[in-house]
Structure 1
């Protein structure tokens, strides 16, 4: 009897200790801008995985497709000494935060990352040879999304050249369909402009946007880019100004819009609406870009907590979870991306994702796998911002393409 009572007492003590441990669980605060339907489902997978491990998730979700508002909020939090455990950061900004001494290293969680990650992305999440960020997924930017019923209605096919694109746009317009669903926000304007730059060839894109070569930036080809963008704009509807990207995607989902230029997070919205690739919508490389792949990688960086230079157990667990095979698969299935890990099975993914993976691997080999300027993978925020201002001002005015090119060349010199 005494032994039984002792066992009961011990079990009770363990239960109390376990309960106390849960109550004292480390809080993981995360700042991001994943707020649309598909994005919310994707981030919820991570939240649930961390909760199962005993961590308390504190969500700082700030709406805005390109993260401008989130970056402003992040700076305020860091300056005030309340940096989040992790934040959605990418590209050169990762290095900027590392140089400021704000980040912690997560090497302990990254023992197998290099072997399973595209080299360009692997190097981008390191600073000083150490991992300071965890990559989730790869998004292809240069997609064109088409409502299949609309396409069938007008007897069209996915365009592979700009003349074919404009011919299809004319058919949509004649059928009472908005040819191009677009949201007039700077980052969405940049998405179209950057894609048209890419249509001039991977080498042209590299010289223009990676090297910022003045000869290329002022070339007749760049004038053609601005002329093409100017013509695309004539196929928007009157209400495009300020429209959020997911509302433009909703137009294509409903059939009121025929096409949209957008990265493959748009596919998360189609999935959230129970739409299927090749049945309800078509995913095609934008005209002239089938042999190239502009990308952005979703990444979280990890900030020092309470002045401590080492990562907390929760931060290390978060990094390890993000790069686990199971999480990578489930996250991308919801978000529309492809896993950054190259060893994640693709059998559960749709034809768009499988094409994205195949094109990713092909362009890595050919040199056509290129970081996106529009999505923060290229250039400093100052330079990228100056170029964005030129592009969005051009798309919202009647400016001459040659004047747009002149301003572009000047903006590329802003540091």
Structure 2
């Protein structure tokens, strides 16, 4: 007859075995730093976990309070330098290159070759995912920044059509103001002001000027006659916003357009989610059109995951599976349907997407063919963080102070471009 102690040990062993049997035996597990925790983004992460689990791999969230801010990056850096990196972290733009220079990122070239990333991705996007010619990150989606959102009833009320040029835009804005409609809904925050500014820069100067001035930070371009026209057009737009714009959140500005209090808004395609949530439909209730002068070009903002070099072979295998799953047509479709963006790779069926997304995808492909894809400065795709912040400060100051002259603003831009 077993003693009580032996019986307890036997029972404990049986319980441990039962728990082990109930838990999935993952081939490998990925730890992922991200801040997609609500709404459609959370649904997309759940789908990514499901697809990964179907291949026998587990997922563990690397949670840092404060989302993707400075705190998250500090924790990530301490983990990486201590030799205990996560498998993946939500990074984008120059941040990928900065981590790459530390020689801590994994090589994804095998996955990229199998899935033919070089042929699926526009060159400018592929290069953003590489360090020293090898893939170290995987893109999830693409947002178009240079949209103009218009309340269709406001347009009907003033007997106008969607503007294609800046002259047409200001003519429509004048009609809306006379009709008692705020012509341009705006949120007075530096990132929103730079979103409008870079859209104007593309619309006035074109993609080559945009790259020289805002990506290469060429002093001659920043002091050019074209930049003068950009600044004058940008300042003129402010005159069509309302006095309460300062500090307003972007979605509150979008709500003004949805309600018909305002006629138009410059904003990326995440604004579409606000219209759809309000049961508004493209073409029936609102229009998504290219900002004036930008129909043949595309300012992009891309979410991506950088992959860190791992010591554990099973975790590294799961990491490779994660990269392949993210670029799969199935996940690209599900994620972007949920988030309001569009697939970054080719060959995804766009039949389930709304009209604005279908147009965005078409613009993305067409712009890539004529070298008219340019990275967003406002959304951290083009410049080091300190340089970007300095430029945003200059643009915000120009927007908010009518006493600053155009030549003074150009000098300030040149000075900000030297901040590293």
* Same fold flag (TM > 0.5): yes
Q: TM-score, normalised by structure 2?
A: 0.85
Asked whether the equivalents of residues 304 and 311 of structure 1 are also in contact (C-alpha less than 8 Å), the reply is: no
Deviation string for 1:4-43 (max 9, x for gaps)? xxxxxxxx999765423369984633323x5675545544
Deviation string for 1:249-285 (max 9, x for gaps)? 2322232232111111222333333322111210111
**Counterpart of 1:277 in 2: which secondary structure?**
coil
Q: For 1:373 and 1:56, locate their aligned partners in 2 and report how far apart those are by CA, in whole Å.
A: 32
1:294 pairs, out of 273, 290, 299, with: 299
1:356 pairs, out of 337, 347, 360, with: 360
Deviation at 1:169, TM superposition (A): 1.8
- Which residue number in structure 2 is paired with residue 87 of structure 1? 89
Q: 1:41/1:234 Cα in 2 relative to 1: closer, same or farther (>3 Å)?
A: farther
Q: For 2:63 and 2:248, locate their aligned partners in 1 and report how far apart those are by CA, in whole Å.
A: 23
Asked whether the equivalents of residues 65 and 72 of structure 2 are also in contact (C-alpha less than 8 Å), the reply is: no
Deviation string for 1:144-171 (max 9, x for gaps)? 0111122222222111112221222222
- Which residue number in structure 1 is paired with residue 385 of structure 2? 381
**Counterpart of 1:295 in 2: which secondary structure?**
strand
Alignment map for 1:41-56 (pairs within 5 Å) = 41-50=43-52, 55-56=58-59
Q: For 1:121 and 1:84, locate their aligned partners in 2 and report how far apart those are by CA, in whole Å.
A: 24
Asked whether the equivalents of residues 139 and 344 of structure 2 are also in contact (C-alpha less than 8 Å), the reply is: yes
Residue 303 (1) aligns with residue 308 (2): yes
**Counterpart of 1:28 in 2: which secondary structure?**
strand
Residue 127 (1) aligns with residue 131 (2): yes
- Which residue number in structure 2 is paired with residue 318 of structure 1? 322
Deviation string for 1:102-121 (max 9, x for gaps)? 33333443321223222221
Asked whether the equivalents of residues 38 and 272 of structure 1 are also in contact (C-alpha less than 8 Å), the reply is: no
1:102 pairs, out of 101, 104, 128, with: 104
**Counterpart of 1:158 in 2: which secondary structure?**
coil
Asked whether the equivalents of residues 140 and 356 of structure 1 are also in contact (C-alpha less than 8 Å), the reply is: yes
**Counterpart of 1:137 in 2: which secondary structure?**
coil
**Counterpart of 2:398 in 1: which secondary structure?**
helix
Q: 1:39/1:269 Cα in 2 relative to 1: closer, same or farther (>3 Å)?
A: farther
Q: For 1:76 and 1:413, locate their aligned partners in 2 and report how far apart those are by CA, in whole Å.
A: 25
Q: 1:261/1:61 Cα in 2 relative to 1: closer, same or farther (>3 Å)?
A: farther
Deviation string for 1:340-373 (max 9, x for gaps)? 1111112222222222222222222222122222
Tell me which structure has the larger Cα radius of gyration.
2
Q: 1:227/1:91 Cα in 2 relative to 1: closer, same or farther (>3 Å)?
A: same
Deviation at 1:380, TM superposition (A): 2.2
Residue 72 (1) aligns with residue 77 (2): no
**Counterpart of 1:121 in 2: which secondary structure?**
helix
Name the count of aligned residue pairs.
397
Alignment gaps of 5+ in structure 2: 1-14
Q: For 2:375 and 2:312, locate their aligned partners in 1 and report how far apart those are by CA, in whole Å.
A: 33
Q: For 1:310 and 1:239, locate their aligned partners in 2 and report how far apart those are by CA, in whole Å.
A: 55
Deviation at 1:130, TM superposition (A): 2.7
- Which residue number in structure 2 is paired with residue 396 of structure 1? 400
Q: For 1:143 and 1:239, locate their aligned partners in 2 and report how far apart those are by CA, in whole Å.
A: 23
Q: 1:238/1:208 Cα in 2 relative to 1: closer, same or farther (>3 Å)?
A: same
1:31 pairs, out of 20, 31, 34, with: 34
Asked whether the equivalents of residues 163 and 172 of structure 2 are also in contact (C-alpha less than 8 Å), the reply is: yes
Deviation string for 1:361-407 (max 9, x for gaps)? 22222221222222222232232222111111211222222211111
Q: For 1:114 and 1:303, locate their aligned partners in 2 and report how far apart those are by CA, in whole Å.
A: 21
Q: For 2:141 and 2:109, locate their aligned partners in 1 and report how far apart those are by CA, in whole Å.
A: 19
Asked whether the equivalents of residues 149 and 289 of structure 2 are also in contact (C-alpha less than 8 Å), the reply is: yes
Deviation at 1:239, TM superposition (A): 2.8
Alignment map for 1:98-177 (pairs within 5 Å) = 98-110=100-112, 111-112=114-115, 113-177=117-181
- Which residue number in structure 2 is paired with residue 5 of structure 1? none
Asked whether the equivalents of residues 29 and 314 of structure 2 are also in contact (C-alpha less than 8 Å), the reply is: no
Deviation at 1:135, TM superposition (A): 0.5
Q: TM-score, normalised by structure 1?
A: 0.86
Q: 1:102/1:357 Cα in 2 relative to 1: closer, same or farther (>3 Å)?
A: same
Q: Which moved more, 1:174-183 or 1:39-48?
A: 39-48
- Which residue number in structure 1 is paired with residue 226 of structure 2? 221
Deviation at 1:95, TM superposition (A): 0.9
- Which residue number in structure 1 is paired with residue 8 of structure 2? none
- Which residue number in structure 2 is paired with residue 234 of structure 1? 239
**Counterpart of 2:292 in 1: which secondary structure?**
coil
Deviation at 1:175, TM superposition (A): 3.0
Alignment map for 1:134-283 (pairs within 5 Å) = 134-199=138-203, 200-283=205-288
Q: 1:181/1:49 Cα in 2 relative to 1: closer, same or farther (>3 Å)?
A: farther
Asked whether the equivalents of residues 183 and 248 of structure 1 are also in contact (C-alpha less than 8 Å), the reply is: yes
Q: For 2:369 and 2:314, locate their aligned partners in 1 and report how far apart those are by CA, in whole Å.
A: 37
Asked whether the equivalents of residues 139 and 337 of structure 1 are also in contact (C-alpha less than 8 Å), the reply is: yes
- Which residue number in structure 2 is paired with residue 367 of structure 1? 371
Q: For 1:392 and 1:99, locate their aligned partners in 2 and report how far apart those are by CA, in whole Å.
A: 32
**Counterpart of 1:165 in 2: which secondary structure?**
helix
